[in-house]
Structure 1
Amino acid sequence: MDHRSAVKHLPCNAICGRHENSKARFIATLFFVPICALLLLATSAFGQSASQALPENATSNSYSDGWKCDLGYRLSDDACTPVLVPENAYETNRTYGSGWECLHGFRKSNAATCIAVVVPEGGFLEASGERWQCGRGYLKQGDTCLEIVVPENGYLTDTTYGSAWVCDRGFEAVDGTCVAILVPANAYLNAAGYGEPWLCDRGFVARDGQCEAILIPENAYFDASKYGSGWKCERGYLEAGQTCARIDVPENAHLDRSGNRWQCDRNFRESQGLCVLNN
């Protein structure tokens, strides 16, 4: 019996099994060949990276590939060159920035030098060591500190605006000096710091630099407001010169909110001093 007859007599499961094994080997080849190629490339790259020599004054990274320059050195064209610290400066021992800073009392004038901070007379060096300010009693003008001349009966202030000095209580500034404030009778100094230097006592009103007594007419009361006659009429009365006249409220009218005028009731309107019905 030839082989073709033998094949015909083989069981079906034997023939199918051969085909299944061939298919599995083909699929395995498709998956494993690319993976092996990738592994070979990674191994080659790792070997190449590992074979690269570290530059002088550098250290390999602890938790990643590559390297970094040691303290006191900076990367320049794949090499680690020393940090050049200028005069009046110190190394920062940091891997970032310029690698140096100016000493206290010096400041950077450009990218490579430190110059001294010149503090003028009357000034002081700031805590940063890079700038200066004028001390109390001096004003900054350009690169100098000018002494503040405080007049007699005045004192220095710490405000950053306005005058650097103010006058004592009872004095006012006039042409760079402190002149005594003349307070008239029945008045007192104004402590508000603005407005008139003095104010009249209660019951008095300022007229021509003096404080005159307020004469309150009958049916009036004292008014503490700054402006006006110093008194107001009571409710139901109207100011008439220096007196308070009683308000004659017409029929169908009533006093308004101020109490010193009248107005017509609802549905009425004023006509010739009377309140007439709206038509």
Structure 2
Amino acid sequence: MGQKSMTALVSAFSRAYHAENNEIKIFNDSVARAILTDGEYHLISESMASGIGFFHPSFVGDAQQALRWIVDNYLSPTPLARAAFAESSLGTAVRIGASQYLIFAAGYDTFAYRQPDWAKPLTIFEIDHPATAADKMARLQRATVEIPENARYVSADFTSEGWQTSLLQEKTFSSKRISFCSLLGLSYYLTAEQFKDMIAATGDFLPKGSSLVFDYPDQDAYTNRAGKRARKQAQLAGGTGEAMLASYSYKEMERLLSDSGFLIYEHLAPDEMTKRFFAGYNKFNPQYSMYAFDNVNYCLAVKN
């Protein structure tokens, strides 16, 4: 976690590519392109296009067409869908009383730098490894992106016991204020025990009515029963040295959350995510249709 995350960079690239190349958008990240250097953007583009043989062995087309196919089928679906789900859920949480937004493993998340007016009363805590946070700050400064007054930065290593200490010591954080927590992309790279401990620790300092939003791989994700895209995605992550470690059935996730005082408020499987967030885009872009990623579920849980 002390190194620049390649998966985080690729996620930012996928959001930037989608925002720049589509009039109708599933999710519009207007800042993602600014935090990537031109060199990184072009290197990722070239690397992905040159890997079309891995993603689609029988593909016929030029490099730009190859890149578009890979982005639409592999890179973008999960980052776009989970961001749309999380920020839609955040908006609802703010309307009913949430006043703190905790972004776990914030990486290159850009919500704080494009926040809508309804988010201004929030205190936004970006929680991540100090090396990642420092790299992000350098990128924002280089791109002359304004740092909002309601943003805070907290150092943590989620693989270590006591990661929450820095947050609890942050003078602007209050364990009495209802909070909305984004744990997007985390469940894949923590062991089941680490993820369970994280949920338990979070439940200990959040008041009733606070919520968690996250995505997670289902029980078939790393088996022969997984969809083709899921199998290739796991291979790709492993190749970057960021192997995916755990998967969960609905019952396992329900029990894990319940043990820490959370109840599942909303749970969406891939088909449901496609209907909610991709259908409108697909109607206007039938030649570039996208579908929520195989074997990935989305969950909103509330502390009872």
Given the two structures, how large is their TM-score scaled by the length of structure 2? 0.14
Higher relative contact order (CA 8 A, sep 6+): 2
Choose between structure 1 and 2: higher strand proportion.
1
Given the two structures, how large is their TM-score scaled by the length of structure 1? 0.15
Choose between structure 1 and 2: higher helix proportion.
2
Higher Cα Rg, which structure: 1
